[in-house]
Amino acid sequence: VNSGPVEITVQAVSSRAIHRALPKAACFVVPNVDSLAELRRKRRSPDTDWSRLRSRERLAVFVPNDISPQESRDCLHEELAQAIGPLNDLYRLSDSVFNDDNVHTVLTGFDMLVLRATYAPELHTGMSRNEVAAILPGLLSRLNPAGNGIASRALPTTPRSWINAIETALGPGSSFSSRKRAANQAVVLARDLGWSDHRRAYSHYVLGRMIQANEPELAQRHFQTALDFLNQTPGSDLHQAVIRPRMAAYQIARGEGEAALQQINPALPVASRYENAALLATSLLIKAEALDLLGQFATANTVRLDSLGWARYGFGPDWAVQAKIREVAELRPSTN
């Protein structure tokens, strides 16, 4: 706006400033401020306490100004949506950016439906949980009539013990042995809870990713187990596409070009459809290496060239793009 009150301020600041304000956040949203300076003044004020907020009047979204275009877009999608919609991330939501597994990077159809419902005229600030629950079935039927014919697939809530294990495994500040132990614990908890959904798969993926450098064969078994569970889970094609580059990379390192292609090819259209340039660029670079292994050098060069535009959007500056190209090229077995 050029004048008058501002309801949402988007401020681009350095990643260092973001981490000083909130050490574990890549980007975040705060009520009743419009700058980091005001946030510092109000840090312990009730004004910035989401739990005390009853009506949203003024919010600020803080995003880093030194990250790739895709990361900026991802931050804006999630933080703007949280500024006007649901705040919490829930691991049981498989088709949503409101999930800390970071599989989805842009708002999904599910997310847009939630936002439309939030601002539907049938609902207003101050209603009780029971009042909203009574209205929701009819409201959702009006907003998404196609959903009336789809059976419910409600998942159980995610226990704090599993969340803590995943956060320890992926978070900073812990030794590798502690993180590995936490990842193993997440796998055991998911098994003992009887899960067979994307959270069970994610547990195996996190552990596989952690041990891939030192225990590559065991990591592959965890990745395959994750895929096995996802194959039983409707709408999990993006989750599968996130895993496939790691499995294809293993085949590249073994000099198995054909096996690498079989792993990576299904990921390409999925990465494109879900607008994940970093995933698409990585997958194309891996495909190019697989084609080189098969002696298809001209096709490999074309695929590698196609990856560059996506890589610049997904990874940012040229040095980051070149680093990714080198990282993938170094997967190939030595010819010495």
Tell me if 32 is assigned to some domain.
yes
**Range 294-304 average pLDDT:** 96
pLDDT at 5: 85
pLDDT at 336: 55
Residues 6 or more apart from 221 whose CB is under 8 A from it?
208
Q: In this predicted model, what pLDDT tens digit does every residue of 48-96 receive, in sequence order?
A: 999 888 889 999 999 999 999 999 999 999 999 999 998 888 999 999 9
pLDDT at 172: 79
Q: In this predicted model, what pLDDT tens digit does every residue of 233-285 receive, in sequence order?
A: 989 999 999 999 999 999 999 999 999 999 999 999 999 999 999 999 999 99
Instruction: Say if residue 172 is in the same domain as residue 258.
Output: yes
CATH number for the domain harbouring residue 286: 1.25.40.10
Instruction: Say if residue 174 is in the same domain as residue 298.
Output: yes
pLDDT at 44: 85
**Confidence bin at 120 (pLDDT 50/70/90):** very high
- Intra-chain end-to-end CA distance of the chain, in Å: 63
pLDDT at 270: 97
Q: Which residue has the tokens 């900073």?
A: 172
Tell me if 147 is assigned to some domain.
no
- Of 95, 119, 143, the residue that ends a domain is 119
Tell me if 134 is assigned to some domain.
no
Tell me if 142 is assigned to some domain.
no
Q: What percentage of the chain carries pLDDT values higher than 90? A: 83
Which residues are bridge partners to 31 per DSSP?
59
Instruction: Say if residue 97 is in the same domain as residue 13.
Output: yes
Tell me if 115 is assigned to some domain.
yes
CA distances in angstroms from 268 to 96, 205, 284, listed in the order given: 20, 19, 7
Tell me if 125 is assigned to some domain.
no
Residue 41 clears pLDDT 60, i.e. is over it? yes
* Core vs surface per residue 228-257: b (16+ CB within 10 A) or e: ebbeebeebebbbbbbbbbbbbbbbeeebb
pLDDT at 334: 73
Instruction: Say if residue 205 is in the same domain as residue 100.
Output: no
- Of 119, 152, 186, the residue that ends a domain is 119
Residue 335 clears pLDDT 70, i.e. is over it? no
For the question of whether the overall pTM of this predicted structure is more than 0.85, the answer is yes
Q: What percentage of the chain carries pLDDT values higher than 70? A: 99
Query: What is the domain range of residue 26?
Result: 8-119
**Confidence bin at 1 (pLDDT 50/70/90):** confident
Cα–Cα distance for residue pair 18/202, rounded to 1 Å = 27
Residue 321 clears pLDDT 80, i.e. is over it? yes
Tell me if 309 is assigned to some domain.
yes
- Say if strands 8-13 and 28-31 run parallel, antiparallel, or are unpaired: unpaired
User: Tokens representing 151?
Assistant: 């059976």
Q: Mean pLDDT score of the chain, rounded to an integer? A: 94
- Of 65, 89, 119, the residue that ends a domain is 119
Instruction: Say if residue 206 is in the same domain as residue 103.
Output: no
Instruction: Say if residue 192 is in the same domain as residue 300.
Output: yes
**Range 213-240 average pLDDT:** 96
DSSP label of 157: P
Tell me if 1 is assigned to some domain.
no
Instruction: Say if residue 256 is in the same domain as residue 316.
Output: yes
User: Tokens representing 241?
Assistant: 């596409």
Q: In this predicted model, what pLDDT tens digit does every residue of 171-214 receive, in sequence order?
A: 877 899 999 999 999 999 999 999 999 999 999 999 999 999 99
Cα–Cα distance for residue pair 272/276, rounded to 1 Å = 6
Cα–Cα distance for residue pair 62/124, rounded to 1 Å = 27
**Range 294-306 average pLDDT:** 96
Instruction: Say if residue 282 is in the same domain as residue 183.
Output: yes
User: Tokens representing 247?
Assistant: 């499995």
Give the number of C-alpha atoms closer than 13 A to the C-alpha of residue 75, restricted to the C-beta side.
24
Instruction: Say if residue 115 is in the same domain as residue 164.
Output: no
Cα–Cα distance for residue pair 91/126, rounded to 1 Å = 27
Instruction: Say if residue 192 is in the same domain as residue 270.
Output: yes
Instruction: Say if residue 192 is in the same domain as residue 88.
Output: no
Cα–Cα distance for residue pair 204/219, rounded to 1 Å = 9
Domain count, the chain: 2
Q: Following DSSP, what letter does each residue of 26-63 receive, concatenated?
A: SSEEEET-SSHHHHHHTTTSGGG-GGG-SS---EEEEE
Instruction: Say if residue 188 is in the same domain as residue 299.
Output: yes
